[in-house]
Amino acid sequence: MNIASISINRPVLASVLSIIVVLFGVIGFIFLGVREFPSVDPPIITVTTNYVGANPDVIESQITEPLEESINGISGIRTVTSTSSDGRSSIVVEFDLSVDLDNAANDVRDKVSAAIRNLPPDADPPVVVKSDANAETIFSLTVQSDKKTLLELTDLGNNVFKERLQTIKGVSEIRIWGEKKFSMKFNLDPERMAGLGLTALDVKNALLNQNVELPSGRIEGNTVELTIRTFGRLTTEEEFNNLIVAKKGTQIVRLKDVGRANLAPENERTLLRGNHGIPMIGIAINPQPGANYIEIVDEIYKKVEQIKKELPKDVHLGVALDSTQNIRKSISEVEETILIAFGLVVVIIFLFLRDWRTTLIPIIAIPISLIGTFFIMYISNFSINLLTLLGIVLATGLVVDDAIVVMENIYARVERGEDPKEAAHKGSKEILFAIISTTITLTTVFLPIIFLDGLTGRLFREFGVVVAGSVIISAFISLTLTPMMSARLLKKKEKHSRFYKMTEVWLDKLMSGYRNSLTKFMKRPWIAFILMAFCIVLIIWNGLSLKSELAPMEDKGRFQIRSNAPEGTSFERMDFHQQQIIDLIDTLPEKTSIIAVTSPSFNSGAVNAGFVRVNLLPVKDRKRSQEEIVNLLNKRLGEFNFARSFIVQEQTIGGGRQSGLPVQYVLQAPNFETMKETLPKFLEQAIADPVFKIVDVDLKFNKPELQVDIDRDKAESVGVNVNDIASTLQLYFSGQRYGYFIMNGKQYQVIGQAMKEKRDDPSDLSAIQVRSESGELIPLDNLVTVRNESSPPQLFRYNRYVSATVQADVNAGFTVGDGIDAMDKIAEQVLPESFSHSLAGTSKEFAESGSSIIFAGLLALVLVFLVLAAQFESYRDPWIILFTVPLALAGALFSLWLTDQTLNIFSKIGIIVLIGLVTKNGILIVEFANQRREDGLSIKEAIIDACAQRFRPILMTTLATILGALPIALALGDAATSRISMGISIVGGLAFSLILTLFVIPGLYIYLTSKKSKLKP
């Protein structure tokens, strides 16, 4: 007795099994997290080290190189990327997706700790963070005030917002954009100091000696103990200005005699502006890789509401960025799509069955199977995201297939006069093998996907497991609940409704028309091979014609304008350019908010850089698309030719830390000299290539630099050592930290440098004096020579090689695939043999996805063949079934070409799914044909009879699947553009293969099936 018969005889057991599936599904749904896409973020650890005043060359040789050498020995590393810029080293270590983030962080910390002894003693300790220094911000809060200064707002941001929000689960880092942190600035006058016989080193030593607070011990009496506390710290501007620097005879020289101390921002060379250019600060939240964005942002809103109650009335908060708005909208639209698909499937089933009691039997399988899938998602540690929900949309049409086939087979027997219970036993037994075969086959298609690595593997895995899981549950329901309900609800009707009679005539004509045309076709079955050849030609032609990309660009209603001015540009001039960009954006009627940062303190912190982040109205509330607005702005940006500005649109999938222009090509050289010689040639050809509209590179060579050469012999002759010369220059010109002070219970830096007007011209170096061993002051220009040179503002390394990343955006009509091909051609022509090249960002993910999907598709075909061979105990019959795949593939590619779509990760997912979908129809036909041959029919009679009997269920199930995927293809919703290609490939492939399968499979069966008799013994 099989499981169907047990369920028919024990209806309570069958219903309890279904209730358990639903119960566990509901529990799983409650505990599932919500994201936009599956967690595809690789474990990334960033090591940042600050060394104020050091140039990129010093940073690379003394900090980046020792740290990289130590870190490189950790297992599981995918890439090591480093940037050495003025005063900062940033090393980004990306691990394989299988590596645990916490373990990776611990390994990096251990290696960094071991390398600290090799770093300069006055460099700041390296900071290890579990995220990427260039990670995308998911939420940004603006803070502005009518009364408070940016210094006070920054203090509020650090001590209130940052402290409260960084405890939220999943938050990696909180940055203060436009940060103006308190510091005590010593602005020294080198001329007045020289006149009093002082140097900057004297000021620093005086501060270190007079700004101390050491533990002084305690008084221990017989009955009382007192703690001794010595107040030696300076706290106010007045106290610092009265700092005694030196004593010249009876004269006391204080700091105010040689300069001035005042509270000022630690970093005066960064500024954030909002709408209409109003200065403010921004609280930017970066997530940990794999974190649940919606949970983070929901918790942020709760905490901000609590903070608001404590804020002064003059402080105003605003939301400059909330990336979860798109996530929520997309998920809401997919949920609506599920309901639409469910409605369409119900309608198509009712149109075929024309009876609500009969329709209810297969329909009940849909909610049970879909709800049960949430439990599979839960135990697989998945989330509710666009791809898992798309899997459920597709499954809406799939899960009803098995129930339809079982119910229709039982229904046919009931219509022939059999007792419903007996018909349920016989009909379910007859169809049992076909149901198991189709379920195993469809599940097998997704097996290779589960084991794929990288971005594609992660994206496909969740989608594939959801679809396969829902199909397995539906097969279970169709073999338990469906036969039980059929035995109790199906009745032979003596009198049908008028609607039934009208449509039955049409369906009978359709059935007889198909049978007659198939009988004629079978007189010349060799035509099937011609049709197969035509499909193969169509596949090749369309495959070569279609453009390729990672994913279509989605209108997310936000983009960035990035600007880079010529090297050597001052902060004031760069800020003026940013203000011009803000004025341009303010003219856009679609703009809701902007946030602009001049010289971001994170990333490189370059003074000549800035960005403007623009948020737009929802798609339904504006007349122009994001792409149209971007194209308009690109033309207008050409009017501001002082700086190079370009627009970066957020990629639909991927990009991550390298999120910039879509094409990113990393050149790797054995040394800096060969890179400097080759890179300009590569750039020249890339700019001239018609594929690209924007080409940029991160490595520049033209930052103006004053190089100071020390005459060692002369310095030695007058008793001045090289360290004193270097230290004096550092203390006057680098903004060096002299010490610390305490204010309001927090520790801040004391920073010293020459007055602005004493360090704004190269000739100011001549006013600097250095003390010799005899105590005499020697003018610096007697000991050094100064020359003007140019050098790179930043140095880059990729996997320990000197690197430069060329990034580009493609012209209309071209895709990322075209861009990579163009870069490859240029590389072949220009790069020496000693060079190598890699891809980064979206380009890297695109290239990896292509090879992964080809592997998955081929392995799926092999596994399906082997499974079918085992099920049919034949190596011939599986070939007949697999010939349905080219039919569907031809239809899918032709549909994509016809609708001007691309080959992307969504359309490829659709094509992989098609392999499983179309083989189901082939299995039903071949299995029934084999059964008819066992009953004594000839090969031709058997296949014609099998096709005629299976015509209605095949038509019904295929149309149900097509209608289930139709809402995806129609792009119902603002954020559904990227998913169109998936729906089109599935709908087009199924529709095309449905027509051909009903004729080609019978034709091939005649030639390929075993000629041995299949009569029952």
What pLDDT digit, counting tens, does each position of 688-728 carry? 999 998 898 988 888 888 888 999 999 999 999 898 888 88
Q: Are 270 and 609 in contact (CB under 8 A)?
A: no
| Greatest extent of the chain over all pairs of C-alpha atoms, in Å | 126
Residue 1009: the pLDDT is: 83
Q: What pLDDT does residue 655 have? A: 53
Q: How far apart are CA 688 and CA 695, in angstroms?
A: 10
Instruction: Please give the share of the chain, as a percent, with pLDDT higher than 90.
Output: 32
Alpha carbon distances (Å) from 223 to 216, 220, 503: 20, 8, 106
Tell me if domain 182-267+703-791 and domain 502-554+842-1016 are identical in fold.
Answer: no
Phi, psi for 783 (deg, rounded to 5) = -110, -10
The pLDDT of residue 603: 55
Helices (H), 277-322: 293-308
CATH number of 558-702+795-841: 3.30.70.1440
Number of neighbouring beta carbons within 10 Å of residue 615: 20
Mean pLDDT of 348-377: 87
Residue 570 has pLDDT above 70, yes or no: yes
Classify 85 as helix, strand or coil. strand
Distance CA 390, CA 379 (A): 19
Residue 115's H or E segment, with its range, is: helix 101-115
| Beta-ladder partners of 82 | 91, 797
Pairing of strands 591-598, 644-649: unpaired
- DSSP per residue over 740-754, as a string? EEEETTEEEEEEEEE
Domain range list for the chain? 1-31+354-495, 42-132, 182-267+703-791, 502-554+842-1016, 558-702+795-841
Q: What is the pLDDT of residues 401-443, one digit of tens each?
A: 888 888 888 888 888 888 888 888 888 888 888 788 888 888 8
> CATH says 42-132 is which class?
alpha beta
**Cβ atoms of 791 and 57 closer than 8 Å:** yes
Give the pLDDT score at 401.
81
Greater model confidence, 240 or 912: 240
pLDDT at 495 over 80: no
Query: Quick one: which of 522, 387, 529 has its CA closest to 457?
Result: 387
Number of Cβ atoms within 10 Å of the Cβ of 22: 17
The 10 Å Cβ neighbour count of residue 228 is 9
> Strands 663-669, 801-810: parallel, antiparallel or unpaired by DSSP?
antiparallel
- CATH classification code of 502-554+842-1016: 1.20.1640.10
Mean predicted confidence (pLDDT) in 969-987: 79
How far is Cα 507 from Cα 480, in angstroms, rounded to an integer? 29
Please, what sign has the CA dihedral across residues 907, 910, 912, 918?
negative
pLDDT for 127: 93
pLDDT digits (tens, 9 = 90+) for 793-822: 889 999 989 999 999 999 888 888 899 999
Query: Which amino acid does the sequence have at 198?
Result: L
pLDDT value at position 618?
85
Distance CA 922, CA 880 (A): 7
pLDDT number for residue 658: 42
HEC profile of 560-601: EEEEECCCCCCHHHHHHHHHHHHHHHCCCCCEEEEEEEECCC
Give the span between the Cα atoms of 156 and 264, in whole angstroms: 16
Nearest to 442 by CA among 467, 417, 478: 467
Half-sphere exposure for 270 (CA within 13 Å, toward CB): 23
Q: Are 802 and 672 in contact (CB under 8 A)?
A: yes
The partner residues of 127 in beta bridges, in order of sequence, read: 48
Query: Residue 349's pLDDT band (boundaries 50, 70, 90)?
Result: confident
For residue 989, pLDDT beyond 50? yes
Least confident of 41-50, 492-501, 840-849, 865-874: 492-501
Point out which residues pair with 50 in neighbouring strands.
88
CA distance linking residue 106 with residue 996, whole number of Å: 59
pLDDT at position 657: 42
Q: Which position has the token pair 């501060």?
A: 207
CA separation for the pair 540, 555 (Å, rounded): 32
Q: Which of 48, 130, 47 is nearest to 88 (CA)?
A: 48
pLDDT-based confidence at residue 132 (cuts at 50, 70, 90): low
Helix, strand counts (H, E) of the chain: 33, 30
b (16+ CB within 10 A) / e for 326-354: bbbbbbebbeebbebbbebbbebbeebbb
pLDDT bin (cut points 50, 70, 90) of residue 675 is very high
**Contact predicate 165/731, CB 8 Å:** no
Nearest residue to 108 via CA among 140, 134, 76: 76
Tokens 């880092």 map to which residue? Answer: 173
Torsion-angle region of 276 (φ positive above 0: left; ψ -120 to 50: alpha; else: beta): left
| Cα Rg of the chain, angstroms | 36
Query: What is the average pLDDT across 7-29?
Result: 93
Q: Is the pLDDT of residue 878 over 60?
A: yes
Instruction: Give every CB contact of residue 336 below 8 A, 6+ residues apart in sequence.
Output: 972, 973
Q: Check whether 61 has a pLDDT greater than 90.
A: yes
Pick the CATH number of 182-267+703-791 from 3.30.70.1290, 3.30.2090.10, 3.40.50.720, 3.40.605.10: 3.30.2090.10
Which of 833, 816, 24, 850 is closest to 476 using CA atoms? 24
Q: Looking at the predicted structure, is the pLDDT value of residue 529 above 70? A: yes
Alpha helices in 122-221 (DSSP H): 150-156, 163-165, 190-195, 200-210
With CA atoms as reference, report the closest residue to 242 among 215, 227, 269, 260: 260
* Contact of 298 with 307, CB cutoff 8 Å: no
Token code pair at residue 1017: 């013994």
Structure tokens at 319: 């939301």
Examine the pLDDT at 624 and tell me if it is beyond 70. Answer: yes
The DSSP call for residue 213 is -
**Measured between alpha carbons, how far is 296 from 300 in angstroms, rounded to an integer?**
6
CB 648 within 8 A of CB 560: yes
The pLDDT of residue 629 is: 93
For residue 513, what are the CA distances in angstroms to 509, 520, 922, 948? Answer: 6, 11, 20, 10
Q: Which residue from 480, 349, 452, 520 is spatially nearest to 909, judged by alpha carbons?
A: 452
pLDDT given at position 1017: 47
Identify the pLDDT of residue 420: 85
Superfamily of domain 1-31+354-495: Multidrug efflux transporter AcrB transmembrane domain (1.20.1640.10)
- Picking from 168, 172, 175, 139, the residue whose alpha carbon sits closest to that of residue 154 is 175
| Residue 874: count of CB within 10 angstroms of its CB | 18
Do 403 and 482 touch, CB atoms closer than 8 A?
yes
Query: Rounded mean pLDDT of the chain?
Result: 87
Q: How many CB atoms lie within 10 A of CB 549?
A: 24
pTM: 0.77
Q: What is the pLDDT of residue 81?
A: 92
E strand or H helix that includes residue 795: strand 794-798
Q: At what angle do helices 841-872 and 905-934 cross, to 10 degrees?
A: 0
How far is residue 309's CA from residue 317's CA, in Å, rounded to a whole number?
12
Neighbouring C-beta atoms of residue 307, cutoff 10 Å:
17
Measure the CA–CA gap between 511 and 525, rounded to whole angstroms.
20
- Joined together, the tokens standing for residue 56 give 């990129």
Rounded to whole angstroms, the Cα distance separating 389 from 380 reads: 15
Gap between the Cα atoms of 164 and 167, Å rounded: 6
Q: Which helix (H) or strand (E) holds 827?
A: helix 816-830
- Looking at residue 825, its pLDDT comes to 94
Q: Which residue has the higher pLDDT, 16 or 98?
A: 16
Strands (DSSP E) along 656-702, which ranges? 663-669, 692-697
Report the pLDDT averaged over residues 478-500: 82
CB atoms near residue 554 (< 10 Å): 20
Between 612 and 620, the more confident residue is 612
Q: What's the rounded Cα separation, in Å, for the pair 1002 and 1008?
A: 10
* Cβ proximity of 1004 and 533 under 8 Å: no
Average the pLDDT over 334-358 and give the result: 82
Beta-carbon neighbour count of residue 197 at 10 Å?
Answer: 15
